Chain A
């Protein structure tokens, strides 16, 4: 096989960008890049060249990984102390490194590993790489162009802030997540589910509740937050109340839709078995409704978080994520705001991930999970 045909388009484009960058040296406007410049170019060209060779499987991934991240590390390292000095060539090299990382993800996605554990590891590794590159590009662009700290702090500053204010963040999480969100979510979803089963039992109730429920789940319910704060006071009950109202209707509508998802054939079969209402419900209709119910649980997991944080903007004791965000914006501590946002995003993702895992275990029979 000839060399050019093994050269992926990402690697070829990376090489082209490096060439363009080489024509527009230096990387930094104040001429401080020095020897690191040569290391950047050498590493990139070496990675492109090595990845084009017929390497044994596994080694190509390693080469790309080392090349892409080495270049990125050098680029971010050289900008330290010279924020805002980067020139176009700097960003061309950054783009070239990113293309290598793209190639790496493509290579990794193609791997078929023999063991289950390794595959699971790969499933985590690929999105992690993507996230890491969002952070790398953010860091390099913000520091390279010298964007003011107030507008957008670099991730390193946010990470430093998280590390130094763990107790504050923990207190906020305890207030917002463990009290407002958790309690509101359980009550809201539970009540929605119970109402749906009840509505399913009585045709009249279903015909009346479903259009109303559909309408209400389309409404901007966050708007009731100031009213709930007026009614239930500043502490967590008012936030939990907003979460209850926000999660109730999606659960109601989805569960009612799910309960009618089982086909006529299956229901007729249950009838020939002389199954009662409850037997049909537990053995046929609830399992058939599971994808809909889990859908509602997933939608609600993000709604609950947003509801609780937004409700805290309208009044709260001096702890809580929404409170921290609104006060720290006022004090121009943007890194603390981003720290709270990062923590919220992390918790929300874990919350969602757990529900998705449970869903996989319960609805293994659905075509979207069997794969198609």
Chain B
């Protein structure tokens, strides 16, 4: 019962508030267009009827939540998962390149962080450039990455995954540098009094201390990786994936489709972040952390 009072109730209240606000905005934003339509058609409506109409337009400025929910439900559960109108199918396409890119990115990020913490030359030359790398607008580079990779014979999943890698190595690298440097000076001094080698300091002090940082940054990284996969689908003209769905929705002003694709992306994001968080908590418990 406690978790109801402390978790479910507040979250539901906030979510309900958002839904109510959304309906209000949907009416307000769709009203000018509908009023214009009615004036041209010479239709007189009561206020209630008018609100009802604004919430069920075919191509609204802001679709009402129930329209998005209906579209999402229809395209998720009522279609076979192999149909290219099925959101499950599109999500799966995006998910596969997300996971591949996330795996690459995490390994790369950890390696870079270990290098930076242990090799002075890397620490002083690489760190500013890692940060500068993230200021490059990746979407602008994406078509070039695809073209260059296609020229040397790499197509399909890998180019998209590389864009994910590019976005996801950064949080892991930065978080791990911070984590590997987070042991207090007291603890490092203690290791020195034990005459511990650099390897021992790394495996027995720095790595265990950095685990919470690793999982915190992996949560950010997997979300970034999903963004990378979606953005990677925009310019490549991919026929499948959540990004492709967004793009086609924006071409044909299918706002309901755009929102349904965004909802699908959000569901995937939530599942991924939850999974990483769960693994993180299990790992920390296995390492003997006290439950907070």
Interface residue stretch chosen among B39-47, B49-57, B120-128: B120-128
Question: For the complex, what is the distance from the CA of A309 to the CA of B292, rounded to whole Å?
Answer: 41
Shortest CB–CB separation between residue B238 and chain A, in angstroms? 15
Interface of A is mostly: helix
Question: For the complex, what is the distance from the CA of A326 to the CA of B193, rounded to whole Å?
Answer: 59
> Residue B188 at the A interface, CB < 8 A?
yes
Shortest CB–CB separation between residue B69 and chain A, in angstroms? 17
B181, A337: Cβ atoms under 8 Å? no
A344, B13: Cβ atoms under 8 Å? no
Known contacts A223-B230, A322-B140, A127 near B265 by CB under 8 Å: no
Known contacts A220-B230, A231-B61, A367-B185, A325 near B265 by CB under 8 Å: no
Known contacts A223-B262, A372-B183, A109 near B148 by CB under 8 Å: no
Per a CB cutoff under 8 Å, which of B135, B220, B222, B269 touches A305? B135
Question: For the complex, what is the distance from the CA of A325 to the CA of B143, rounded to whole Å?
Answer: 11
- Chain A residues, CB < 8 A from B194: none
A222, B121: Cβ atoms under 8 Å? no
Known contacts A215-B270, A218-B269, A345-B136, A208 near B131 by CB under 8 Å: no
> Residue A333 at the B interface, CB < 8 A?
no
> Residue A110 at the B interface, CB < 8 A?
yes
A341, B258: Cβ atoms under 8 Å? no
Question: For the complex, what is the distance from the CA of A106 to the CA of B258, rounded to whole Å?
Answer: 52
- Chain A residues, CB < 8 A from B148: 151-152
Question: For the complex, what is the distance from the CA of A223 to the CA of B257, rounded to whole Å?
Answer: 12
How extensive is the interface on chain B, given as a class? 35 or more
Shortest CB–CB separation between residue A84 and chain B, in angstroms? 15
> Residue A49 at the B interface, CB < 8 A?
no
> Residue B11 at the A interface, CB < 8 A?
yes
- Chain A residues, CB < 8 A from B178: 368
> Residue A201 at the B interface, CB < 8 A?
no
A230, B227: Cβ atoms under 8 Å? no
A349, B128: Cβ atoms under 8 Å? yes
Per a CB cutoff under 8 Å, which of A108, A204, A223 touches B10? A204
- Considering the complex of A and B, which 7 residue pairs feature the smallest CB-CB distances, nearest first? A348-B135, A208-B10, A208-B14, A130-B125, A218-B223, A207-B10, A226-B250
Other than A302-B135, A345-B132, give 18 A-B pairs with Cβ distance below 8 A. Answer: A109-B121, A123-B124, A127-B129, A130-B125, A130-B126, A134-B129, A151-B148, A205-B14, A206-B10, A207-B6, A207-B7, A218-B223, A219-B269, A220-B226, A220-B265, A231-B61, A305-B137, A372-B184
